[in-house]
Amino acid sequence: MHWILWVLSFVIINIPILTLLADRILAVPAQKVIRNVWYPAGVVFAIVLWVARRSDQALLELFLWGLIGGFLATVGLDIVRLFGHHVLKAFPADMPRIFGLLALGLGPQLQENMIAEMVGRLASADPEARRRILAERLVAMARLPDPIRASVVRAMRKGLGSLPEEKRLALVETQMALLAELPSEVRRPVMQAMDLVMTDRASPAYAQPRGMPKIPLYLARELLDRAIPKTAAEAGVPLWYVLLVGYTWHLLNGLGFGVVYTLLFGPGAWWLAFAWGIFIWAGMMVAMPVMMPAIQFPMPGFLAVPFVAHIVMAVPIGYYALRASEAATAASLLGFLFR
């Protein structure tokens, strides 16, 4: 029975972080996963806790130390992360704000508003830069799958609609002149997408437009700073509620990392705790560019703040895990393998 409970716990505790990866990489909507998977998994986990309380105190102890360590690890990580975001400007956004929009099913709207804000930035560029950037984007758009291309054009139309008339006309003129110069195999799919949008037959796509030219981190920060509150406002959702939902998801990820550590290693050792923090950091560094394909992360500088944050995160996880009893040690995977 112990290992059945262990496996159920291990799977369930990883669902929040896997949901985030599936949403951003595989375009599996987080809102649907939360509704259809999280709630039933929460009921199963509550049953696991009830059974463990009655018959498996060692497993319950692993949960306890993992949850305490994971909670404090999240607090420590956030102190470094928020300093890095607000002072050092090391991240594209306060990421839990994005988590909140994803959980509320507003990912496509956020994507649309970010592209619309990019259109506004393009309209303010000098003519030569505007022509060069727009040409790159039109060519890249032609290679996108049809629904995603139409979604990008729809977002661009939204951005054009918010511009003053003079800037709008100048941008449209540049775009049409570029399209006339492009080969037919590039021009045709873009024009078809424009026709769909003009007749209101296009809707925001959930998948991200992979393959579009990347924008630098500083520009992504600027666009997201405007797009996030705009997306919440358009949906009629208070920004505080987006933050509440996003930080709850963020905390669940941190609690999960703490519990997974104790389930795997029991008390572990300090070197294991720091190795665990580095492992999570490395996974984040690999996943971030894939999850946010429109952003050009400044390597290797981008690696520094997350590295420090995850080293700080490892301290409470390792400290509280070391308090596990011999019985709890034997209940972990490492304890089972080397007993």
Give the HSE-up count for residue 228: Cα atoms under 13 Å, Cβ half-sphere: 23
Domain boundary among the residues 200, 229, 258 is at 229
Any idea of the CA torsion for 139, 145, 146, 147, to the nearest 10 degrees?
A: -120
Shared-domain flag, residues 87 and 29: yes
Residue 159 has pLDDT above 90, yes or no: yes
Shared-domain flag, residues 163 and 206: yes
Shared-domain flag, residues 68 and 86: yes
Identify the domain containing residue 167 by its residue range.
107-229
Shared-domain flag, residues 48 and 79: yes
Shared-domain flag, residues 279 and 319: yes
Judge whether 63 and 9 are in contact, CB under 8 Å: yes
Task: Give the residue-averaged pLDDT of 130-145.
Answer: 92
Residue 339 has pLDDT above 80, yes or no: no
Shared-domain flag, residues 214 and 285: no
Domain boundary among the residues 229, 262, 295 is at 229
Shared-domain flag, residues 208 and 322: no
Taking only the tens place, the pLDDT of each residue in 8-29 is 999 999 999 999 999 999 999 9
Taking only the tens place, the pLDDT of each residue in 260-278 is 999 999 999 999 999 999 9
Shared-domain flag, residues 220 and 243: no
Dmax (CA) for the chain in angstroms is: 75
Residue 200 has pLDDT above 80, yes or no: no
Taking only the tens place, the pLDDT of each residue in 285-333 is 999 999 999 999 998 889 999 999 999 999 999 999 999 999 999 999 9
Taking only the tens place, the pLDDT of each residue in 238-267 is 999 999 999 999 999 999 999 999 999 999
Domain boundary among the residues 192, 207, 229 is at 229
Measured distance CA(212)–CA(337) in Å, rounded: 48
How many domains does the chain fold into? 2
Taking only the tens place, the pLDDT of each residue in 55-85 is 999 999 999 999 999 999 999 999 999 999 9
> Chain-wide mean pLDDT for the chain?
93
Shared-domain flag, residues 29 and 71: yes
Q: Are strands 215-216 and 295-296 parallel, antiparallel or unpaired?
A: parallel
Which 8-state DSSP code applies to residue 206? S
Shared-domain flag, residues 253 and 280: yes
